[in-house]
Amino acid sequence: MDFKGKVAVVTGAASGIGRSVALAFAKLGTDVAIADIDDAGLKNVRKEIESLKRRVIAVHCDVSKDDDVNNLAKQAILTLGKVDILMNNAGVGVRGYLERVTMADWQWTVGINLFGVIRGVHAFLPHMLQRGSGYIINTGSAGGLIASEPPELAPTNIPYITSKHGVTGFSEAIYGYLRPKGIMVSLLCPGMVDTKIGDNSRYVGSNREVSEMKGGGESLFSAPGVMSPDDLAQMLIKGMNENKFLIITHQEIMDALTARGQNMKKLEEHLQETFKNKV
């Protein structure tokens, strides 16, 4: 894929995966519209992209709001002239045991993680269909492929896992619909990546439970095998160059997914092993 002269839109771009991908695109000659609710972070990323001599706009955008996403599409097309690549990347989490998670927490998670992706496609798709080309990247998760991933977080991560499974199904369905129309779709499924999603998560439960969840999350994100966002960005670009639908960052995710596809009995055994001694 030739990135030079293309225009990309990246949500959740103020830090983490979104920032790294936006910068990686810019280094390849792509102009970028970056979006986030973190205006200070957006300002810094905008300066980094400007230093690479690429056109860039920063748009405050809450992907849980129709008007914000529609405005993002309007501003990107009006200012940069077109949109070739859309990366629906903004995401959040709710950590807590299922019985403690409120409906408001469920709506917040699904409204951003799943409906944020749907809103992005809904807002930009008419432009791509009119041009007969485009590339959509939806950031899913290992937890959106295997409900026990990562095993250390899964029991207190059910809303996140549920929303990301929705992203997986949505992405697979639109791939089949849009590919014949000249629009490529990729589903990016990271494992553990060093991002700020823990800071952007809600924690529900007793003070002790919340303290344990936060401590466990911090240790996991600093553990061996955790990928840097910059490395992930390069994996994404490689996957795009190869026209891959499913872009997985860690071999253990692929191994677990292969086992699941081969035999549902193996999935049962995987789940039993994962949660052994955790109750």
> Could you tell me which of 74, 71, 22, 75 has the C-alpha nearest to residue 51?
22
Cβ atoms within 10 Å of 227's Cβ, excluding its own: 17
Cβ atoms within 10 Å of 246's Cβ, excluding its own: 17
Evaluate whether 10 touches 35 at the Cβ level (below 8 Å): yes
Q: How many Å apart are CA 234 and CA 155, to the nearest integer?
A: 31
Sign of CA dihedral 46, 49, 50, 55: negative
Q: What are phi and psi of 8, to 5 degrees?
A: -120, 150
Q: How many Å apart are CA 26 and CA 3, to the nearest integer?
A: 9
Burial class (CB in 10 A: 0-12, 13-18, 19+), 71: middle
For residue 30, give both structure tokens: 């792509």
> Could you tell me which of 173, 195, 162, 181 has the C-alpha nearest to residue 38?
195
Chain CA centroid to CA 210, Å: 24
Q: How many Å apart are CA 31 and CA 26, to the nearest integer?
A: 6
Name the strand (E) or helix (H) holding 97: none
Q: How many Å apart are CA 133 and CA 79, to the nearest integer?
A: 19
> Could you tell me which of 41, 154, 69, 165 has the C-alpha nearest to residue 113?
165
* Annotation marks residue 175 as catalytic: no
Catalytic member of 160, 175, 177, 203: 160
Altogether, the residues listed in the chain come to a count of 279
- Residue numbers annotated as active site: 160
